[in-house]
Structure 1
Protein backbone atom coordinates (compact mmCIF):
# COMPACT_ATOMS: atom_id res chain seq x y z
CA UNK A 1 0.00 0.00 0.00
CA UNK A 2 1.37 3.44 -0.88
CA UNK A 3 1.89 6.34 1.49
CA UNK A 4 -1.09 8.20 0.01
CA UNK A 5 -3.34 5.21 0.60
CA UNK A 6 -2.15 4.87 4.20
CA UNK A 7 -2.81 8.55 4.71
CA UNK A 8 -6.36 8.29 3.36
CA UNK A 9 -7.21 5.40 5.68
CA UNK A 10 -5.66 7.13 8.68
CA UNK A 11 -8.21 9.90 8.21
CA UNK A 12 -10.77 7.39 9.42
CA UNK A 13 -8.72 5.05 11.59
CA UNK A 14 -8.29 1.31 11.32
CA UNK A 15 -10.55 0.68 14.30
CA UNK A 16 -13.42 2.48 12.57
CA UNK A 17 -12.83 0.58 9.32
CA UNK A 18 -12.97 -2.69 11.24
CA UNK A 19 -16.51 -1.78 12.28
CA UNK A 20 -17.53 -1.69 8.60
CA UNK A 21 -16.11 -5.06 7.51
CA UNK A 22 -18.46 -6.61 4.94
CA UNK A 23 -17.02 -10.05 4.16
CA UNK A 24 -15.61 -12.87 6.25
CA UNK A 25 -12.51 -13.11 4.10
CA UNK A 26 -10.60 -11.45 1.28
CA UNK A 27 -11.44 -14.44 -0.94
CA UNK A 28 -15.17 -13.91 -0.37
CA UNK A 29 -14.80 -10.22 -1.26
CA UNK A 30 -12.93 -11.07 -4.47
CA UNK A 31 -15.70 -13.46 -5.52
CA UNK A 32 -18.29 -10.72 -4.96
CA UNK A 33 -16.27 -8.22 -7.01
CA UNK A 34 -15.91 -10.75 -9.84
CA UNK A 35 -19.67 -11.41 -9.78
CA UNK A 36 -20.43 -7.67 -9.80
CA UNK A 37 -18.17 -7.12 -12.81
CA UNK A 38 -19.58 -10.10 -14.70
CA UNK A 39 -23.21 -9.22 -13.99
CA UNK A 40 -22.82 -5.51 -14.79
CA UNK A 41 -20.29 -5.75 -17.63
CA UNK A 42 -22.72 -4.23 -20.12
CA UNK A 43 -23.74 -1.37 -17.84
CA UNK A 44 -20.48 -0.12 -16.32
CA UNK A 45 -18.03 2.18 -18.07
CA UNK A 46 -14.41 1.11 -18.12
CA UNK A 47 -13.38 3.69 -15.53
CA UNK A 48 -16.03 2.37 -13.14
CA UNK A 49 -14.63 -1.15 -13.50
CA UNK A 50 -11.10 0.13 -12.90
CA UNK A 51 -12.22 2.03 -9.81
CA UNK A 52 -13.98 -1.05 -8.41
CA UNK A 53 -10.83 -3.13 -8.89
CA UNK A 54 -8.78 -0.42 -7.20
CA UNK A 55 -11.22 -0.22 -4.27
CA UNK A 56 -11.05 -4.00 -3.92
CA UNK A 57 -7.28 -3.77 -3.67
CA UNK A 58 -7.48 -1.15 -0.91
CA UNK A 59 -10.44 -2.79 0.85
CA UNK A 60 -8.72 -6.18 1.00
CA UNK A 61 -7.13 -5.09 4.29
CA UNK A 62 -10.57 -4.77 5.90
CA UNK A 63 -12.57 -7.32 3.87
CA UNK A 64 -14.65 -4.86 1.91
CA UNK A 65 -14.19 -1.52 3.69
CA UNK A 66 -11.80 1.32 2.91
CA UNK A 67 -11.41 5.03 3.40
CA UNK A 68 -9.57 6.08 0.26
CA UNK A 69 -10.22 9.64 -0.92
CA UNK A 70 -11.65 10.52 -4.34
CA UNK A 71 -8.55 12.66 -4.99
CA UNK A 72 -6.33 9.64 -4.33
CA UNK A 73 -8.36 7.45 -6.69
CA UNK A 74 -8.10 10.10 -9.41
CA UNK A 75 -4.34 10.39 -8.92
CA UNK A 76 -3.68 6.64 -8.87
CA UNK A 77 -5.80 5.94 -11.97
CA UNK A 78 -4.78 9.09 -13.85
CA UNK A 79 -8.32 10.37 -14.25
CA UNK A 80 -10.11 13.51 -13.07
CA UNK A 81 -11.89 13.79 -9.75
CA UNK A 82 -15.10 14.57 -11.65
CA UNK A 83 -14.77 11.25 -13.48
CA UNK A 84 -14.30 9.50 -10.14
CA UNK A 85 -17.46 11.14 -8.80
CA UNK A 86 -19.49 10.03 -11.84
CA UNK A 87 -18.17 6.48 -11.66
CA UNK A 88 -18.75 6.23 -7.92
CA UNK A 89 -22.35 7.32 -8.47
CA UNK A 90 -22.67 4.63 -11.13
CA UNK A 91 -21.31 1.98 -8.77
CA UNK A 92 -23.72 3.10 -6.05
CA UNK A 93 -26.70 3.10 -8.41
CA UNK A 94 -25.92 -0.50 -9.34
CA UNK A 95 -25.67 -1.48 -5.65
CA UNK A 96 -22.03 -2.47 -5.99
CA UNK A 97 -20.70 -0.11 -3.34
CA UNK A 98 -22.08 2.17 -0.66
CA UNK A 99 -20.57 5.27 0.89
CA UNK A 100 -21.25 5.55 4.63
CA UNK A 101 -20.96 9.08 5.96
CA UNK A 102 -19.01 9.43 9.19
CA UNK A 103 -19.50 11.97 11.96
CA UNK A 104 -17.44 12.88 14.98
CA UNK A 105 -18.94 12.84 18.48
CA UNK A 106 -19.48 16.59 18.12
CA UNK A 107 -21.45 16.09 14.93
CA UNK A 108 -18.76 17.21 12.48
CA UNK A 109 -18.18 15.40 9.18
CA UNK A 110 -15.33 12.92 8.86
CA UNK A 111 -14.01 11.01 5.86
CA UNK A 112 -16.62 8.58 4.54
CA UNK A 113 -16.20 4.80 4.54
CA UNK A 114 -16.53 3.06 1.16
CA UNK A 115 -17.95 -0.47 1.41
CA UNK A 116 -18.04 -3.07 -1.36
CA UNK A 117 -21.44 -4.75 -1.15
CA UNK A 118 -22.14 -8.49 -1.37
CA UNK A 119 -23.38 -9.70 -4.72
CA UNK A 120 -27.02 -10.75 -4.64
CA UNK A 121 -28.84 -12.25 -7.60
CA UNK A 122 -31.32 -9.63 -8.70
CA UNK A 123 -34.85 -10.28 -9.84
CA UNK A 124 -35.55 -7.68 -12.50
CA UNK A 125 -38.68 -5.66 -11.80
CA UNK A 126 -41.16 -4.59 -14.47
CA UNK A 127 -40.65 -1.07 -15.78
CA UNK A 128 -42.08 1.48 -13.36
CA UNK A 129 -42.10 -0.87 -10.37
CA UNK A 130 -40.27 0.37 -7.30
CA UNK A 131 -38.47 -2.57 -5.77
CA UNK A 132 -36.99 -0.57 -2.91
CA UNK A 133 -33.61 -1.38 -1.33
CA UNK A 134 -31.29 -3.29 -1.30
CA UNK A 135 -30.60 -5.00 -4.61
CA UNK A 136 -32.35 -8.28 -5.15
CA UNK A 137 -35.59 -7.37 -3.39
CA UNK A 138 -38.33 -9.77 -4.32
CA UNK A 139 -42.00 -9.22 -3.70
CA UNK A 140 -42.99 -11.47 -0.83
CA UNK A 141 -46.41 -12.43 0.47
CA UNK A 142 -48.72 -9.66 1.54
CA UNK A 143 -48.04 -8.44 5.05
CA UNK A 144 -50.88 -8.58 7.56
CA UNK A 145 -52.43 -5.29 8.51
CA UNK A 146 -50.71 -3.65 11.46
CA UNK A 147 -52.62 -2.42 14.51
CA UNK A 148 -53.85 1.16 14.54
CA UNK A 149 -51.10 3.55 15.58
CA UNK A 150 -48.28 1.60 13.98
CA UNK A 151 -46.16 3.12 11.26
CA UNK A 152 -47.99 2.94 7.92
CA UNK A 153 -45.94 1.55 5.04
CA UNK A 154 -45.72 2.55 1.42
CA UNK A 155 -45.14 -0.19 -1.18
CA UNK A 156 -41.42 0.61 -1.35
CA UNK A 157 -41.14 0.41 2.45
CA UNK A 158 -42.89 -2.97 2.44
CA UNK A 159 -40.23 -4.21 0.04
CA UNK A 160 -37.55 -3.47 2.62
CA UNK A 161 -39.14 -5.92 5.08
CA UNK A 162 -37.38 -8.71 3.28
CA UNK A 163 -38.61 -12.28 3.44
CA UNK A 164 -35.19 -13.55 2.33
CA UNK A 165 -33.13 -14.01 5.57
CA UNK A 166 -29.83 -13.29 3.78
CA UNK A 167 -31.03 -9.99 2.34
CA UNK A 168 -32.76 -9.04 5.58
CA UNK A 169 -29.55 -9.63 7.51
CA UNK A 170 -27.61 -7.60 4.93
CA UNK A 171 -30.00 -4.64 5.17
CA UNK A 172 -29.83 -4.70 8.95
CA UNK A 173 -26.03 -4.74 8.86
CA UNK A 174 -26.00 -1.80 6.49
CA UNK A 175 -28.30 0.25 8.72
CA UNK A 176 -26.27 -0.63 11.82
CA UNK A 177 -23.10 0.50 10.06
CA UNK A 178 -24.67 3.85 9.16
CA UNK A 179 -25.69 4.44 12.81
CA UNK A 180 -22.44 3.45 14.51
CA UNK A 181 -21.72 7.09 15.35
CA UNK A 182 -24.68 6.87 17.75
CA UNK A 183 -23.23 3.70 19.29
CA UNK A 184 -19.95 5.57 19.84
CA UNK A 185 -21.80 8.02 22.10
CA UNK A 186 -23.04 5.25 24.39
CA UNK A 187 -20.42 2.50 24.17
CA UNK A 188 -18.60 3.81 27.27
CA UNK A 189 -21.84 4.14 29.21
CA UNK A 190 -22.68 0.45 29.31
CA UNK A 191 -24.18 -0.18 25.85
CA UNK A 192 -22.75 -3.25 24.15
CA UNK A 193 -22.51 -3.71 20.38
CA UNK A 194 -24.92 -6.73 20.37
CA UNK A 195 -27.50 -4.74 22.36
CA UNK A 196 -27.14 -1.80 19.96
CA UNK A 197 -27.71 -4.08 16.97
CA UNK A 198 -30.78 -5.52 18.72
CA UNK A 199 -32.16 -2.01 19.23
CA UNK A 200 -31.61 -1.14 15.55
CA UNK A 201 -33.18 -4.41 14.38
CA UNK A 202 -36.34 -3.74 16.39
CA UNK A 203 -36.48 -0.11 15.24
CA UNK A 204 -36.13 -0.67 11.47
CA UNK A 205 -39.74 -1.74 10.75
CA UNK A 206 -41.37 0.65 13.22
CA UNK A 207 -39.49 3.92 13.58
CA UNK A 208 -40.43 6.89 11.41
CA UNK A 209 -37.29 8.85 12.34
CA UNK A 210 -34.83 5.98 12.77
CA UNK A 211 -31.86 8.00 14.00
CA UNK A 212 -33.84 9.88 16.65
CA UNK A 213 -35.63 6.71 17.75
CA UNK A 214 -32.42 4.69 18.10
CA UNK A 215 -30.69 7.47 20.02
CA UNK A 216 -33.67 7.79 22.39
CA UNK A 217 -33.83 4.05 23.06
CA UNK A 218 -30.07 3.89 23.64
CA UNK A 219 -30.28 6.80 26.07
CA UNK A 220 -33.13 5.18 28.01
CA UNK A 221 -31.29 1.87 28.09
CA UNK A 222 -28.06 3.22 29.57
CA UNK A 223 -30.01 5.40 32.01
CA UNK A 224 -32.07 2.47 33.28
CA UNK A 225 -29.00 0.25 33.42
CA UNK A 226 -27.17 2.87 35.47
CA UNK A 227 -30.09 3.18 37.92
CA UNK A 228 -30.29 -0.59 38.32
CA UNK A 229 -26.55 -0.83 38.94
CA UNK A 230 -26.69 1.90 41.58
CA UNK A 231 -29.64 0.27 43.35
CA UNK A 232 -27.85 -3.07 43.30
CA UNK A 233 -24.71 -1.54 44.82
CA UNK A 234 -26.73 0.11 47.60
CA UNK A 235 -28.50 -3.17 48.31
CA UNK A 236 -25.18 -5.00 48.58
CA UNK A 237 -23.84 -2.38 51.00
Structure 2
Protein backbone atom coordinates (compact mmCIF):
# COMPACT_ATOMS: atom_id res chain seq x y z
CA UNK A 1 0.00 0.00 0.00
CA UNK A 2 1.32 3.45 -0.97
CA UNK A 3 0.46 6.27 1.41
CA UNK A 4 1.50 9.92 1.33
CA UNK A 5 1.58 12.15 4.38
CA UNK A 6 0.90 15.66 3.13
CA UNK A 7 1.17 19.08 4.72
CA UNK A 8 0.99 22.65 3.42
CA UNK A 9 1.83 26.18 4.50
CA UNK A 10 -0.27 29.10 3.29
CA UNK A 11 -0.39 32.90 3.22
CA UNK A 12 -3.43 32.90 5.50
CA UNK A 13 -6.46 30.94 6.57
CA UNK A 14 -9.00 31.36 3.77
CA UNK A 15 -8.52 30.40 0.12
CA UNK A 16 -11.89 32.00 -0.71
CA UNK A 17 -10.51 35.46 0.12
CA UNK A 18 -7.35 35.07 -1.94
CA UNK A 19 -4.95 33.23 0.35
CA UNK A 20 -2.59 30.89 -1.51
CA UNK A 21 -0.32 27.90 -0.99
CA UNK A 22 3.36 28.69 -0.48
CA UNK A 23 4.82 25.33 0.62
CA UNK A 24 3.89 21.67 0.11
CA UNK A 25 5.62 18.68 1.73
CA UNK A 26 4.87 14.99 1.11
CA UNK A 27 6.40 11.93 2.80
CA UNK A 28 5.96 8.50 1.21
CA UNK A 29 5.10 5.30 3.07
CA UNK A 30 4.96 1.96 1.27
CA UNK A 31 3.63 -0.91 3.37
CA UNK A 32 4.10 1.32 6.45
CA UNK A 33 7.78 1.86 5.72
CA UNK A 34 9.34 5.26 5.03
CA UNK A 35 10.90 5.16 1.57
CA UNK A 36 12.72 8.51 1.45
CA UNK A 37 10.94 9.25 -1.84
CA UNK A 38 9.55 12.53 -0.56
CA UNK A 39 8.37 15.65 -2.40
CA UNK A 40 8.86 19.25 -1.33
CA UNK A 41 8.10 22.58 -2.97
CA UNK A 42 8.40 26.20 -1.99
CA UNK A 43 5.91 28.17 -4.09
CA UNK A 44 5.68 31.83 -5.04
CA UNK A 45 2.14 32.68 -3.87
CA UNK A 46 2.14 35.99 -5.77
CA UNK A 47 1.05 37.87 -2.65
CA UNK A 48 2.25 38.67 0.85
CA UNK A 49 1.48 36.46 3.83
CA UNK A 50 -0.78 37.72 6.59
CA UNK A 51 1.27 38.72 9.67
CA UNK A 52 -0.19 35.88 11.72
CA UNK A 53 0.66 33.28 9.09
CA UNK A 54 4.16 34.72 8.61
CA UNK A 55 4.80 34.36 12.34
CA UNK A 56 3.92 30.66 12.06
CA UNK A 57 5.96 29.64 9.00
CA UNK A 58 8.55 32.43 8.65
CA UNK A 59 8.59 32.29 4.84
CA UNK A 60 8.94 35.87 3.66
CA UNK A 61 7.78 37.34 0.36
CA UNK A 62 11.41 38.03 -0.51
CA UNK A 63 12.42 34.40 0.06
CA UNK A 64 9.54 33.11 -2.07
CA UNK A 65 9.88 35.66 -4.88
CA UNK A 66 12.13 33.46 -7.07
CA UNK A 67 10.31 30.19 -6.35
CA UNK A 68 8.08 28.53 -9.00
CA UNK A 69 4.39 29.40 -9.14
CA UNK A 70 1.86 26.67 -8.41
CA UNK A 71 1.07 26.12 -12.09
CA UNK A 72 4.74 25.22 -12.66
CA UNK A 73 4.77 22.42 -10.06
CA UNK A 74 1.16 21.25 -10.35
CA UNK A 75 1.70 18.40 -12.80
CA UNK A 76 4.60 16.93 -10.80
CA UNK A 77 2.51 17.11 -7.63
CA UNK A 78 -0.51 15.48 -9.29
CA UNK A 79 1.52 12.61 -10.76
CA UNK A 80 3.37 12.01 -7.49
CA UNK A 81 0.08 11.79 -5.57
CA UNK A 82 -1.88 9.87 -8.19
CA UNK A 83 -3.43 6.66 -6.84
CA UNK A 84 -2.02 7.04 -3.32
CA UNK A 85 -3.90 7.12 -0.04
CA UNK A 86 -3.44 10.61 1.43
CA UNK A 87 -2.88 11.25 5.15
CA UNK A 88 -3.41 14.82 6.41
CA UNK A 89 -3.85 16.39 9.85
CA UNK A 90 -6.99 18.56 9.64
CA UNK A 91 -7.60 17.60 6.02
CA UNK A 92 -10.35 20.15 5.37
CA UNK A 93 -7.84 23.00 5.62
CA UNK A 94 -5.18 21.62 3.26
CA UNK A 95 -7.70 20.24 0.77
CA UNK A 96 -9.47 23.59 0.63
CA UNK A 97 -6.27 25.21 -0.63
CA UNK A 98 -5.33 22.34 -2.95
CA UNK A 99 -8.79 22.31 -4.51
CA UNK A 100 -8.62 26.07 -4.99
CA UNK A 101 -5.25 25.81 -6.75
CA UNK A 102 -6.42 22.90 -8.90
CA UNK A 103 -9.56 24.83 -9.76
CA UNK A 104 -7.47 27.76 -10.99
CA UNK A 105 -5.97 25.33 -13.53
CA UNK A 106 -9.36 23.98 -14.57
CA UNK A 107 -8.64 20.61 -12.93
CA UNK A 108 -11.05 18.53 -10.80
CA UNK A 109 -10.62 18.43 -7.04
CA UNK A 110 -7.32 17.14 -5.66
CA UNK A 111 -8.71 13.92 -4.15
CA UNK A 112 -10.18 12.77 -7.47
CA UNK A 113 -6.60 11.88 -8.43
CA UNK A 114 -5.93 9.92 -5.22
CA UNK A 115 -7.22 6.74 -3.60
CA UNK A 116 -8.63 7.47 -0.17
CA UNK A 117 -8.06 9.93 2.68
CA UNK A 118 -7.14 9.59 6.34
CA UNK A 119 -7.59 12.65 8.56
CA UNK A 120 -5.36 12.08 11.58
CA UNK A 121 -7.07 14.90 13.49
CA UNK A 122 -10.43 13.11 13.28
CA UNK A 123 -8.79 9.81 14.18
CA UNK A 124 -7.00 11.40 17.15
CA UNK A 125 -10.27 12.87 18.43
CA UNK A 126 -11.76 9.37 18.40
CA UNK A 127 -8.72 7.91 20.18
CA UNK A 128 -8.23 10.75 22.70
CA UNK A 129 -11.64 12.41 23.22
CA UNK A 130 -11.61 15.67 25.16
CA UNK A 131 -7.85 16.13 24.85
CA UNK A 132 -5.69 18.47 22.77
CA UNK A 133 -4.91 16.80 19.46
CA UNK A 134 -2.67 19.28 17.68
CA UNK A 135 0.42 17.85 16.01
CA UNK A 136 2.61 19.07 18.88
CA UNK A 137 0.26 17.53 21.47
CA UNK A 138 0.26 14.20 19.65
CA UNK A 139 4.05 14.22 19.36
CA UNK A 140 4.31 14.68 23.12
CA UNK A 141 1.66 12.07 23.88
CA UNK A 142 3.09 9.43 21.52
CA UNK A 143 6.78 10.00 22.21
CA UNK A 144 7.70 11.60 18.86
CA UNK A 145 10.61 14.02 19.19
CA UNK A 146 9.64 17.45 17.86
CA UNK A 147 12.23 19.54 19.70
CA UNK A 148 13.57 20.86 16.36
CA UNK A 149 10.17 22.29 15.37
CA UNK A 150 10.57 26.00 16.15
CA UNK A 151 8.56 27.12 13.12
CA UNK A 152 5.98 25.25 11.06
CA UNK A 153 7.29 23.78 7.81
CA UNK A 154 5.39 21.58 5.37
CA UNK A 155 8.05 18.87 4.95
CA UNK A 156 9.09 18.88 8.61
CA UNK A 157 5.47 18.65 9.73
CA UNK A 158 4.78 15.85 7.24
CA UNK A 159 7.77 13.92 8.61
CA UNK A 160 6.51 14.36 12.18
CA UNK A 161 3.00 13.37 11.15
CA UNK A 162 4.35 10.21 9.53
CA UNK A 163 5.87 9.18 12.88
CA UNK A 164 2.66 10.15 14.70
CA UNK A 165 0.51 8.17 12.26
CA UNK A 166 2.68 5.05 12.61
CA UNK A 167 2.50 5.34 16.39
CA UNK A 168 -1.29 5.87 16.33
CA UNK A 169 -1.87 2.82 14.14
CA UNK A 170 0.71 0.50 15.66
CA UNK A 171 -1.98 -1.71 17.22
CA UNK A 172 -1.55 -3.98 20.21
CA UNK A 173 1.66 -3.23 22.08
CA UNK A 174 1.49 -6.03 24.62
CA UNK A 175 1.29 -9.75 24.03
CA UNK A 176 0.02 -10.34 27.59
CA UNK A 177 -3.61 -11.47 27.61
CA UNK A 178 -5.55 -10.21 30.62
CA UNK A 179 -8.21 -12.81 31.45
CA UNK A 180 -9.61 -10.68 34.24
CA UNK A 181 -8.98 -13.40 36.82
CA UNK A 182 -7.61 -12.35 40.17
CA UNK A 183 -4.23 -13.67 41.27
CA UNK A 184 -4.67 -17.17 42.62
CA UNK A 185 -8.01 -17.82 40.90
CA UNK A 186 -8.01 -21.08 38.91
CA UNK A 187 -4.29 -21.39 39.63
CA UNK A 188 -4.25 -25.05 38.78
CA UNK A 189 -5.79 -24.56 35.35
CA UNK A 190 -3.68 -21.50 34.54
CA UNK A 191 -0.46 -23.24 35.52
CA UNK A 192 -1.14 -26.48 33.68
CA UNK A 193 1.33 -27.19 30.85
CA UNK A 194 0.11 -28.69 27.61
CA UNK A 195 2.52 -30.66 25.40
CA UNK A 196 2.14 -29.27 21.91
CA UNK A 197 3.80 -32.39 20.47
CA UNK A 198 0.46 -34.18 20.81
CA UNK A 199 -1.02 -31.92 18.15
CA UNK A 200 -0.39 -32.03 14.41
CA UNK A 201 0.05 -28.28 13.94
CA UNK A 202 0.35 -26.92 10.39
CA UNK A 203 3.13 -24.42 9.63
CA UNK A 204 1.83 -21.45 7.64
CA UNK A 205 4.61 -19.11 6.57
CA UNK A 206 3.99 -15.41 6.10
CA UNK A 207 3.84 -14.09 2.54
CA UNK A 208 6.39 -11.50 1.40
CA UNK A 209 3.88 -8.63 1.64
CA UNK A 210 2.92 -9.73 5.16
CA UNK A 211 6.60 -9.76 6.18
CA UNK A 212 6.98 -6.25 4.75
CA UNK A 213 3.96 -5.02 6.74
CA UNK A 214 5.35 -6.63 9.89
CA UNK A 215 8.75 -4.97 9.35
CA UNK A 216 6.97 -1.64 8.93
CA UNK A 217 5.24 -2.06 12.29
CA UNK A 218 8.56 -2.89 13.96
CA UNK A 219 10.17 0.17 12.33
CA UNK A 220 7.46 2.31 13.91
CA UNK A 221 8.02 0.71 17.34
CA UNK A 222 11.80 1.20 17.03
CA UNK A 223 11.27 4.90 16.33
CA UNK A 224 8.85 5.29 19.23
CA UNK A 225 11.23 3.67 21.75
CA UNK A 226 14.30 5.28 20.15
CA UNK A 227 16.07 1.95 20.00
CA UNK A 228 15.56 -1.69 19.09
CA UNK A 229 12.27 -3.24 20.11
CA UNK A 230 12.23 -6.51 22.04
CA UNK A 231 10.90 -8.34 18.98
CA UNK A 232 14.14 -7.64 17.09
CA UNK A 233 16.51 -8.76 19.81
CA UNK A 234 18.13 -12.16 19.92
CA UNK A 235 16.67 -14.27 22.75
CA UNK A 236 18.93 -14.87 25.72
CA UNK A 237 20.38 -18.40 25.81
CA UNK A 238 18.58 -20.81 28.11
CA UNK A 239 20.38 -21.47 31.35
Q: Same fold (TM over 0.5)?
A: no
TM-score by length of 2: 0.24
Q: Decide which structure has greater helix share.
A: 1
* Greater RCO structure (CA 8 Å; 6+ sep): 2
Q: Decide which structure has greater strand share.
A: 2
TM-score by length of 1: 0.24
